[in-house]
Structure 1
Amino acid sequence: MSARNLLVTALGLTCVAVLAVINIPDRLPKLDLVERASQFAGALEANAPYRPPTVREGENALSGLIPLLTGGKDTQSEVKTLTPLGFTVTEGRDATTDRRFVMAATEPGDERGWGMYIADYGATPKQVIEVPHPNFDLDTEQIGVQLYRALPGSAVLVAGAHRRAANGLADVAHNANSLFNQVATALARKGLPQVQLHGFDDKSLPGTGVVVSGGSTPHTQLHVQIADRIEADGTVVCRAWQQSCGNLEGTTNVQGQAADSMGTVFAHIESDGSIRSDPVLRARLVAALAAALSSSGP
């Protein structure tokens, strides 16, 4: 083969290699994140073991998770950090939005049930969506991931254990030592607003569909907009800054307490079972939350 032909062949191979690298994101697997989150939540059991991370484990986990949740792209480095802690890191594209995501999740049933964390790959987050009681506040993980789909630039935090595991030690909304709370606090420290999703039994507050509260933080214009948007669809809303809402205000949630100490926004949203179990009503709630968050953003 002549020198000229060798050069042409080499250049051709180089182009193929470059194109292969460029197209790697297009070959990422597509995953239905709502289905994946529901499978994760459904596998959480009240009698499973659980322990919070040690101080060193918490520090290591934060060093891996916070970069991923705040726009980092060096996923291989984070894999090396998070894998020894029981996390599996997955990159892919959401089957509905086609947005590229990165997800770090522990295994349901492991004593290190420290959560599922989802972020838009490489995107600077605008808000934090929290699901502290999966498989207890039923279908809240679906609302959380559907809200992620509606709001590009969201970081999603889903607890990795049933709230009753280890005699309630796994209740991340009331355990400041949980990794979930450490991650939420670190993101709040960056000034990000938090929307925490809960559910209540219809009998707990008859006639009310949604409770909107600031938890232990002062109510803001965001809370008002959320309530207004939800009410616009005909849903009865209890506004915790105006009336008693049957002890569903979330004033003891540690994420809200941390947000209050830092002066950041915390929205505690409770929805009744009829809304959470109905795909149409769930979609309306998601649309209302997304509209309020979008209009209040920078």
Structure 2
Amino acid sequence: METRGSRRTLLPAAVLLLVLAALAGVLTLAAHGGADRPRVVRSAPSPSGPAPVDLAARVDEYTAGFAPDGSYAPPDAAQRRAVADGVLGALDGQPEQAGRELARVGYRLTEFTEAATGRRVAEIADGTAADGRGWGRIYLDLSARPNWSVQVPHPVSDARTEALGVELFRAAPGGVLVLAGAHRRAGADGSSDVAHRSDTVFAAVVEALTGRGLPGVQVHGFDEGSLPGQDAVVSSGAGQPGPAAELTAAGLGRAGFAVCRAWREKCGQLEGTTNVEGRFAAGVGVPWLHVELGNGLRTEPARRAAVAGVLAETVRSWGPR
């Protein structure tokens, strides 16, 4: 018969035997290198989000089909206003409001990380199936409060000004890239030439930004044969020449380019005095710059990068608005 005292002695002994048996098993597995253990396989982590977007490639893809015989549908006043209001909504950090305005005319707002800079960028683009209206696109740098714009009125027509626009947008934070959506000769009677028509989405957006006090630089191209001996023309359009024009001309000169300063000399009617966006800026007293560039400064990557660097210094000089 077991006594209460003997039960207290036997139980610990049994526990001890179990512990020793388990330890023996562990030592046996260790002696065999753990070959019988279940193997743990950890899969590679899934991507945390969409891949970054190369803005240069995106713009090149968008503009690849621009041609003089391309499609263009002139917008009415309500359509122009809806896109401009959508841009201002995005500028004010109100994407839902912006999206509602844009949806009224078939535009959409999306965001992505730009591959070259790592910055968040908002794209405002035509979301209709064919995207054939030719109204253009707008890109906003969301990494900083937008405080300047680069305007590309004649992509493809003024060869590689679209590439220059992207490079400048990348080179300085706080930019808005406004890109025309058709070749300048696509529309009937010049209706797609956004630098000389006020009834375009491009003009409405630029005027909305300028009305908020954002200074802008508009990039153009010319055939060197029309102005022998000059690589670039710098002007303030219809406005009075200011520090931005002087700074840009000086920077291009230091880069080794011959510059015609429109406020000092005749520049072959390339001064931009009839440009509608420039006239609007002059009327509200906001700095605005018109830059004409010869073919080499636009199509040769190294020279184009040098121009973008000079213009980046100019837009930085404007500072926060």
1:255 deviates by 0.2
Conservation of the 8 A alpha-carbon contact between 2:233 and 2:293: yes
In 2, the alpha carbon distance for the partners of 1:253 and 1:173 equals 5
Structure 1 outlier segments of 4+, above 4 Å: 107-111
Pair 1:143 & 2:164 matched: yes
What is the TM-score with the length of structure 1 in the denominator?
Answer: 0.86
Candidates 104, 107, 118, aligned match of 1:87: 107
Judged with a 3 Å threshold, the aligned counterparts in structure 2 of structure 1 residues 169 and 49 are, in CA distance, closer, same or farther, namely same
Q: Secondary structure at 2:150's aligned position in 1?
A: strand
Q: Secondary structure at 1:124's aligned position in 2?
A: coil
1:279 deviates by 0.5
Q: Which range is displaced more, 204-213 or 99-108? A: 99-108
Conservation of the 8 A alpha-carbon contact between 1:198 and 1:271: yes
In 2, the alpha carbon distance for the partners of 1:283 and 1:122 equals 22
Aligned-residue Cα RMSD (Å) equals: 1.9
1:60-209 aligned at under 5 Å gives the runs 60-68=82-90, 70-72=91-93, 74-106=94-126, 110-121=131-142, 123-167=144-188, 168-209=190-231
List alignment gaps of at least 5 residues for structure 1: 1-25
In 1, the alpha carbon distance for the partners of 2:150 and 2:129 equals 20
Matched to 1:171, the amino acid is D
Judged with a 3 Å threshold, the aligned counterparts in structure 2 of structure 1 residues 179 and 108 are, in CA distance, closer, same or farther, namely farther
Matched to 1:151, the amino acid is A
Q: Which range is displaced more, 190-199 or 37-46? A: 37-46
1:82 deviates by 1.8
Conservation of the 8 A alpha-carbon contact between 2:81 and 2:204: no
Conservation of the 8 A alpha-carbon contact between 1:49 and 1:110: no
In 2, the alpha carbon distance for the partners of 1:181 and 1:145 equals 19
Q: Which range is displaced more, 114-123 or 277-286? A: 114-123
List alignment gaps of at least 5 residues for structure 2: 1-47
Matched to 1:91, the amino acid is E
1:71 deviates by 4.2
Matched to 2:113, the amino acid is R
1:34 deviates by 1.2
Conservation of the 8 A alpha-carbon contact between 2:227 and 2:268: yes
1:20-75 CA-to-partner distances (Å, cap 9, x unmatched) read: xxxxxx6243111111112212222221232222122222222212222x242x43
Conservation of the 8 A alpha-carbon contact between 2:68 and 2:185: yes
Candidates 235, 254, 259, aligned match of 1:237: 259
The percent identity for this pair of structures is: 38
Aligned length: 272
Matched to 1:90, the amino acid is T
Matched to 1:75, the amino acid is P
Partner of 1:271: 293
In 2, the alpha carbon distance for the partners of 1:160 and 1:132 equals 9
Judged with a 3 Å threshold, the aligned counterparts in structure 2 of structure 1 residues 45 and 86 are, in CA distance, closer, same or farther, namely farther
